[in-house]
């Protein structure tokens, strides 16, 4: 595939984005979580172009986005009553439900699984795009595979310019971490990826099981959520996640060899703790304990590590309550499970 010119479309140019999608092309668009790279979910050739642009492994299935709740019935064979409760409570919003698929959904979307992941995004531009084309959009996050997900049009541009025809610029996304993925074919429902709708939110409505997959799941096994086995959200720097009460002295100690070699070291820490790290490049996480604000800026901070040319990045762990579960899940992946407990 040769280089193509990537157009930046403004929100009043949604119709141009819709026209490209009708022609079977891919378009990046904003959602309330992160930017997605969309194509007609019912057109296998259009969907193949998503995998090509991202460099995404073929065995990692895509989420299908819909513009109205009744569209789900075209895509899935059955909806358990508990799943219906969740749709009514959390759609449109950052909750993806994995359900048994109908034959209409092409294999390339689901990587050959007999299930399909569906969500209705809560973003005016995404909903207008979906309603205008009339077909569902398969869309993974609009980053090069393995990089942090994009929360600004400029992140998409940095990764995919020359590879896709257009980016619909809707400004910064809201949540900043991806949707929650819930397998509704398991009993009880199984949380595959924590996200914007928290485990606490879900459990207030239905029973949900959750256990982190064993780290480094073998490539030859078929995991329940195929995306989980890949390295994710990773900047170029070597990333370390440091948890516990004595994080600061540990980080200073581990930084020393890098600093002695004249290499730049970064630390992600709460605003109130930045003074603990003289000599390090500080990426402030926001005011202490504000998990919403941290989720919102998380991927921007990870991308900044690259811009700053950091050799190593130390990240202070946060609480795993509420949105913290999604944040720590992403941080563990960014750190490739290099976790230091103090």
CB 194 within 8 A of CB 211: no
Residue 115 contact partner, candidates Mg ion, ligand TXA, none, CB within 5 to 8 A by sort of partner:
ligand TXA
With H, G, I as helix, E, B as strand and everything else as coil, classify residue 241: strand
User: Using the rule CB under 5 A, is 141 a contact of Mg ion?
Assistant: yes
Select 31 or 71, whichever has its Cβ closest to ligand TXA.
31
The dihedral through the CA atoms of 74, 78, 84, 86 has a sign that is negative
Q: How far apart are CA 195 and CA 185, in angstroms?
A: 19
> Within 10 Å of residue 43's Cβ, how many Cβ atoms?
18
In the complex, what is the shortest distance from the CB of residue 339 to ligand TXA, in angstroms, rounded to a whole number?
A: 21
Judged by CB under 6 A, the stretch of 17-25, 163-171, 223-231, 278-286 that binds ligand TXA is 223-231
Closest residue to ligand TXA using C-beta atoms: 227
Q: Which two tokens stand for residue 70?
A: 């009744």
- Alpha-carbon distance values, 135 to 16, 23, 81 (Å): 16, 12, 25
Residue 86 contact partner, candidates ligand TXA, Mg ion, none, CB within 5 to 8 A by sort of partner:
none
In the complex, what is the shortest distance from the CB of residue 313 to ligand TXA, in angstroms, rounded to a whole number?
A: 22
Q: Which two tokens stand for residue 142?
A: 């609009």
- State the number of CA atoms in the 13 A half-sphere of 182 facing the CB: 30
Judged by CB under 6 A, the stretch of 178-186, 242-250, 264-272, 274-282 that binds ligand TXA is 178-186
> Within 10 Å of residue 12's Cβ, how many Cβ atoms?
7
CB 1 within 8 A of CB 165: no
The dihedral through the CA atoms of 93, 99, 105, 109 has a sign that is positive
User: Using the rule CB under 6 A, is 152 a contact of ligand TXA?
Assistant: no
* Nearest Cα to Cα of residue 125 among 188, 87, 174, 88: 174
In the complex, what is the shortest distance from the CB of residue 81 to Mg ion, in angstroms, rounded to a whole number?
A: 30
Select 90 or 277, whichever has its Cβ closest to ligand TXA.
90
Which of 25, 40, 141, 297 touches ligand TXA (CB under 6 A)?
Answer: 141
Which of 25, 40, 71, 110 touches ligand TXA (CB under 6 A)?
Answer: 110
In the complex, what is the shortest distance from the CB of residue 110 to ligand TXA, in angstroms, rounded to a whole number?
A: 5
Contact positions vs Mg ion (CB under 5 A): 141
Summarize as ranges the residues that interact with ligand TXA (CB under 6 A). Answer: 31, 33-34, 36, 60-63, 94, 96, 98, 110, 113, 115-117, 121, 139-141, 178-179, 181, 192-193, 225-228
């Amino acid at each position: 595939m040769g280089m193509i010119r990537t157009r930046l479309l403004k929100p009043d140019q949604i119709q141009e984005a819709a026209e490209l999608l009708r022609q079977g092309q891919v378009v990046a668009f904003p959602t309330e979580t992160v930017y997605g790279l969309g194509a007609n979910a019912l057109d296998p050739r259009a969907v193949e172009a998503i995998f090509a642009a991202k460099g995404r492994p073929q065995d990692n299935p895509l989420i299908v986005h819909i513009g109205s709740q009744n569209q789900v019935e075209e895509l899935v064979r059955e909806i358990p009553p508990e799943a219906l409760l969740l749709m009514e409570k959390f759609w449109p919003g950052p909750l993806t439900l994995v359900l048994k698929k109908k034959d209409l959904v092409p294999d390339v979307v689901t990587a050959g699984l007999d299930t399909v992941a569906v969500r209705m995004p809560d973003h005016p531009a995404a909903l207008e795009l979906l309603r205008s084309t009339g077909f569902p959009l398969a869309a993974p996050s609009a980053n090069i595979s393995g990089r942090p997900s994009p929360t600004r049009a400029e992140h998409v541009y940095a990764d995919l310019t020359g590879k896709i025809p257009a980016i619909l610029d809707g400004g910064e996304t809201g949540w900043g971490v991806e949707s929650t993925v819930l397998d509704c074919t398991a009993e009880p429902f199984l949380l595959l990826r924590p996200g914007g709708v928290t485990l606490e939110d879900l459990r207030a409505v239905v029973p949900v099981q959750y256990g982190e997959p064993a780290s480094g799941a073998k490539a030859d096994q078929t995991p329940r959520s195929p995306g989980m086995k890949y390295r994710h959200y990773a900047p170029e720097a070597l990333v370390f996640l440091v948890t516990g009460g004595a994080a600061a002295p540990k980080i200073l100690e581990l930084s020393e060899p890098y600093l002695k070699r004249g290499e730049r070291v970064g630390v992600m820490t709460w605003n109130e703790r930045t003074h603990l790290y003289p000599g390090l490049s500080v990426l402030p996480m926001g005011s202490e304990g504000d998990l919403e604000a941290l989720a919102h800026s998380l991927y921007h901070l990870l991308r900044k590590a690259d811009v700053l040319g950091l050799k190593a990045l130390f990240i202070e762990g946060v609480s795993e309550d509420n949105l913290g579960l999604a944040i720590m899940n992403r941080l563990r992946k960014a750190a490739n499970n290099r976790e230091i407990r103090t």
